[in-house]
Structure 1
Amino acid sequence: MGRGAAAREDPVKVLVTGGSGFLGREICRRLSARGDVVSSLCRRPSTALERLGVRQHLGDLADAAAVSRAVAGCDAVVHNAALAGVSGPPRPYWATNVVGTRQVIGQCRAHGVRTLLYTSTASVVFRPGGLRGVDESLPVAPRHLAAYPATKARAEALVLAAHGPELATVSLRPHIVWGPGDPHFVPALARAVRAGLLPMPGDGGNLVDTTHVRTAAHAHLLALDGLRRSPQAVGGRAYFIGQDDPRPLREIVRHFLRAAGVDARWCAVPPRLATAGAAAGDALLRAVRSTRTHALSRFLVAELLHPHHFDLTAARRDLGFEPPIGFDAGVAELVRSTPDDSEETPCRTPTTPSAPS
């Protein structure tokens, strides 16, 4: 265990936005298990959170009054909620990811909350050509291929700019969060299989790092404790989080599909054809004003074609971070899990995060 998670102080009153989502629920579970007083903001009630004893505030990030009620009386906020996707028009993403984050920051200040942890995404720095062992000195991408990473980058900038003596802030950047109960990544792969074939751009040899849900939640607790203990040391910074075990995408996909009981053969689509098809798909979605968030897009194809893995030195140095579970152990756990491990289907709302991350 990292030093932040092992050394407990007095119980902390923590609000987790998007607590009914895949990662949000694991964060709530771990906070509750160590004795913190946990509440969540989501649009629909969650039976899983009820079982954990988490107080639930129902409301939308766009509703200032709802956010105010949820934030009031808290010592810290973990802002985990987001609208995620690989396609779709900018406006819904902006309303949830940017305007919603402004609401959270404003209500933290209004209620004297001194600690704000933001769940960002490694996609804020992604650019065509990929990322090979990059660290946090790499600036966010000057141009994004989709509204999701663009708005997450803007929201992260707002959070980090808000850091100061009255409100300490930090941002975590997990990438491809998976594990038992994953309602996003693994099911999407399984749905893409046709007649035993999985059409994918390229040969899958690009190295990709991922983040087990327990690893991501563990990092959140470390960052929360580190920010409360030493705001000058970690505040105002962003940190990459992952398994630190990049593997060929083809291998990752094979493990995940087999864990889901799906036997499929990789069917390589030529990169130029996949990219051209994605560009055409983006154009068509814009023409028909589609609001689909998980359609074929240039962003999705670029992430599937190129490497993306990260240098986690800063998180190790400043947060005491180490992945609590390895990739192979996580896959074995995934094989043993059942559909019931998801506990419930997260509500697909602007306050519930979904892949990608």
Structure 2
Amino acid sequence: MTTPQSPFELFGIDSLITAEDRAVRDSVRDFTDNRIRPHINNWFETGATPVRELTQELGKLGLLGMHLDGYGCAGVSATAYGLACLELEAGDSGIRTLVSVQGSLAMYAIWKWGSEEQKQEWLPRMAKGDAIGCFGLTEPDFGSDPAGMQTFARRDGNDWVLNGTKKWISNGSIADVSVIWAQTDDKIRGFVVPAHTPGFSAQDIPGKLSLRASTTSELVLDGVRLPSTAVLPDARGLSGPLACLNEARFGIIFGALGAARDCLDSAIEYSRHRLIFDKPLAGYQTTQLKLANMTVELGKAMLLALHLGRLKDAGILRPEQVSIGKLNSIREALAITRECRTILGANGVTLDYPMMRHANNLESVLTYEGTSEVHQLIIGQALTGEAAFR
């Protein structure tokens, strides 16, 4: 019997990561092992996660907006951010979602498109975890087609007045500030909306079977009056929110692989100790074929993720390449979590093991930040030059 290796050891993944990025990864892995794993089953089962407490702890670790520069943000490499997402999602997709929405959507929107006053007011507090943000783009009837949004902002003197509804908004009901995207007479614009603004309300969406450790809400804007300083001055048109989505999608490329790795590690360990007909389950050819196939796909996906991370660090990563990564990672991660569950049989459907929890979560990751079909069409347009969305 040879000494067992982990899936990433077989691919020599560590040799492809700088010492600085490995240090970030290892610190996030320690946080996940010590702070998330002991509690995640209870948080998932009850749907009650201490989000504000966790956000402050994540802020102390420098994980919120960690890939941004200035304003109290850590300014780490894109690859380090991706590896952090991987380790967080190995704990649970809901925890990685919290960090992604805070840093890659809400903070990034203000960092990229906001005024200096908006940046100074919100980014340092959000980086510390003292303020929580959310990103209001999706609506009840407009998800994959955000250009059709019905939320509207009209000018009234020097003010803006917003009316509309946003749905499936992570962190919505606990956020101190929302970045809201709305139609105007001059294209789609973004607005910074503090939670206490009259006419703004948020309520959690009940009955979720996925991302139960994450807060998901509906936002209602009923005559929300904002000063002219609330608008993001440098965002005009759909390119503004889409740029933010690409930041979040990049984190998913790595993050989904964390869920897959966690399931595969658990399945390997289980198979080595589970006896079937007086022999370890790992000793059967069928089990090894499954484990080998899953390891190959996980390793290939990780190599692609690292390649895309390098492209992003070089400043040359294109949106269609992000779509390739998101499509591949979530597709392979879902397949791996489901296959791992079969190795555990009935045990795999309980919270004693992570497979079903990760699989349920990944069903949401499959469709948020762009469905697989949307990413296929983005790739198809890049290949053919023809847009086939309509």
- TM-score band w.r.t. shorter chain: 0.3 to 0.5
Give the alignment's TM-score, normalised by structure 1. 0.35
More helix by share: 2
Bigger-Rg structure (1/2): 2
Q: Which has the higher contact order (CA 8 A, sep 6+)?
A: 1
Give the alignment's TM-score, normalised by structure 2. 0.33
